[in-house]
Amino acid sequence: MPTKLQACTELLHGGRDPARHYGMVNTPIYRGSTVLANTLEEWESRKQPDNPYASYGRFGTPTTHALEELVANMEGGYRSLVFPSGLAACTHAILSVVRSGDHVLLPDSVYGPTRAFAQETLARFNIEAEFYAANVGAGISAQLRANTRLVYVEAPGSGTFEMQDIPAIAEQAHKAGAYVMMDNTWATPLYFKPFEHGVDISVQAATKYLVGHSDALLGVATANQDAWPLLRKGAHDFGQTIGPDDIFLALRGIRTLSLRLQQHWDTGVKLASMLSRHPLVARVMHPALPEDPGHALWKRDFLGASGLFAIELQPMSSAAFSCFIDQLQLFGIGLSWGGYESLVLPMGAPTRSVSPYPVKGQLVRIHAGLEDSEDLVADLQQALQRASDCLAVAPEMAVSA
């Protein structure tokens, strides 16, 4: 067998050991809380220095360990832990690192629930959260303090897809003795290798592309060897665990990740390119487009793109906007993304603390699913034409800039 396997091959063979499971090609679902020992000696041997109760279902089963092993290898990290949601992975990974009196830096474009957690929950623990401009790069050094414990990064940014110079930020953070944590959900470990760019802990909403079928909630956090003891203890102290059926669905989804993600990428770029030329679209936010402000960073550091991006429409009334959204036939209106289905999500103006993000028209987040790309293009075009027709019938529906 080759010493270095291609990504698609690793995804198919990682986390599997049929010989341990009576020849089953898939790691079976192990349901259980109690794990029996045959002898006192065996019981004592399972104890760990920081956890004498490690031999218990809450700390994992063969199903859990298969997924954690597979994700850690995908990310290029040391070890991984699963959580009941992507947000749980974000929040508990943060809590595993910080302590009272610490200072935390987060990008102004961070995922909304992570922002809320930082501003509200961390404050209750006497931990100060401060935001920085997504494009700060090495300039993050100006905001680092003696008590800065964590610098959080997310690329591209949630909703508006700003890119970040992660290696430059990580270099400055490490000089100050801070950990670097990244939300790597958009690119997945296939298209961004966080530990090769200075990240200490990588978190993902595995609900999205890893599961891939919109039928399970799951989060994963992966750490390098230095940060692993903190992540592991923090997660276990909070009692975080997840049911084996959802873990099995993630293992199933990952086997086809490379094939699915390639089509999400191709279709997403095709839709974004078409929309960038449409007169009703004011701008497209997709770092894989050459005209995007973050394209150079994406091209330098990333190996691909996912199917998620956003657009800003030209200013129009809510009635005309409804004409567009309601006419879509293949795009559902809903939260989440990363499944096989295409979605749109109307968004409000993004929340910003230090770097205003001016918006004149309506923002719409788009997830390109696995439908035929020509069908999706045609669906968007006919819905935009419907909006144009609404404006032509009632020109007063347009909103002046």
Cα separations in angstroms, 396 against 206, 307, 316, 318, 389: 45, 35, 9, 12, 13
Active-site position among 16, 79, 102, 111: 111
Provide φ and ψ at 23, rounded to 5°.
Answer: 85, 0
Q: Kindly calculate the radius of gyration of the chain based on its CA atoms and give it in whole angstroms.
A: 22
Catalytic site includes residue 58: yes
Tell me how far apart the alpha carbons of residues 204 and 43 are, in angstroms, rounded to a whole number. 34
Tell me how far apart the alpha carbons of residues 353 and 131 are, in angstroms, rounded to a whole number. 7
Active-site position among 16, 149, 208, 365: 208
Active-site position among 165, 183, 246, 379: 183
Residue 386 parent element (H or E): helix 373-393
Catalytic site includes residue 183: yes
Catalytic site includes residue 111: yes
Tell me how far apart the alpha carbons of residues 137 and 140 are, in angstroms, rounded to a whole number. 6
Question: Residue 258, CB half-sphere, CA atoms under 13 Å: how many?
Answer: 11
Catalytic site includes residue 283: no
Which amino acid is residue 386, in one-letter code? Answer: R
Tell me how far apart the alpha carbons of residues 233 and 231 are, in angstroms, rounded to a whole number. 6
Active-site position among 46, 56, 58, 357: 58
Q: Which residues have a catalytic role annotated?
A: 58, 111, 183, 208
